[in-house]
Amino acid sequence: LPLDEIALLFIENVGNLVCPANFNLGSDLNVVIASVPEGHDKPYKYPGMFAVADVVLLNKADLIDVFEFDVDYFRRGLEMVNADASLFVLSCRSGEGADAWVTWLAEQMA
């Protein structure tokens, strides 16, 4: 892989929030993607992953009401383990929040 020629590379973990935080992959930024249907308790249950995140994407915002997801509770949990992490609430279905996330990412790459 010609890494010198790559401006942006996403590395996806194995799909759980426990193991990947323990391994340094040489990344410049760590992004955690949480999903509304998974529950608002994730920062409390998996603090290690959220502690190393530079940014957290809370996806499926269009389902917040359906799942009675408490965004404030989620945010408080994130702030407890990592007050420096940025949080973007977005919906890939509707596009809500996507512009803010992409703008943030572009600023980090500048």
DSSP for 16-81?
A: -SSSGGG-----S--EEEEEGGG-TTHHHH-HHHHHT-SEEEEE-GGGTTTTT--HHHHHHHHHHH
Q: What pLDDT is recorded for position 82?
A: 98
Q: What pLDDT is recorded for position 22?
A: 64
- Which pTM value belongs to this model? 0.88
In this prediction, residues 8-21 reach a mean pLDDT of 69
Taking the domains of the chain in order of start, what are their residue ranges?
Answer: 30-109
- How far apart CA 53 and CA 56 sit, in angstroms, is 7
Strands of 31-35's sheet, edge to edge? Answer: 31-35, 55-59, 86-89
- Write the pLDDT tens digit of every residue in 41-76: 999 999 998 999 999 999 999 999 999 999 999 999
Q: What pLDDT is recorded for position 93?
A: 93
State whether CATH 2.40.30.110 applies to domain 30-109. no
